[in-house]
Amino acid sequence: MLTYKQDITNLPVYNDGVFELFQIKQTEDKFPIEYLKNLNEEIWFEELSITDKLKFEAEERKKQITYKLRIPQRKDITALNVVKINNTYHKVFNAYHFTNSDGYKQTDLTLELYTRVKLEEEINDKT
């Protein structure tokens, strides 16, 4: 049975930064074009350190892991999402959803550099 812990010092703190959330979409053409749809959401995060083991595994897969973030639980964020931090785009490589020892639902996001940035507005301007 879960018990409620009344300890205000263990509240999660997400004050390391904020990111904008985008979703990866494709056009309906014969040769689809991948683009980003802005979901107009800003989410505050806590930055976690990237372990040597994670760096090594990513290098083996030829992935460039850029951030590991913790946010309040969002199960709708998947590998089909991109986040924008300081004018740089990062694709969600992995999203891990869990409940911490104090009973707070959280999500850890592992991000990799996303370089194929084409925004929805750019696609609409061409049609």
pLDDT score of 8? 52
Total number of domains in the chain: 1
72 belongs to a structural domain: yes
Over residues 23-44, the pLDDT tens digits come to 999 988 888 889 999 999 999 9
Sign of torsion, CA 49 53 54 58? positive
105 belongs to a structural domain: yes
Instruction: Retrieve residue 37's tokens.
Output: 């749809």
95 belongs to a structural domain: yes
When the pLDDT of each residue in the chain is averaged and rounded to a whole number, the result is 85
82 belongs to a structural domain: yes
104 belongs to a structural domain: yes
pTM: 0.81
pLDDT score of 123? 77
By CB neighbour count within 10 A (0-12 exposed, 13-18 middle, 19+ buried), where does 94 fall? Answer: middle
pLDDT score of 12? 85
Q: Which of 127, 123, 126, 125 is nearest to 36 (CA)?
A: 123
CATH number, position 34: 2.40.10.270
Contact 47, 83 (CB under 8 A): no
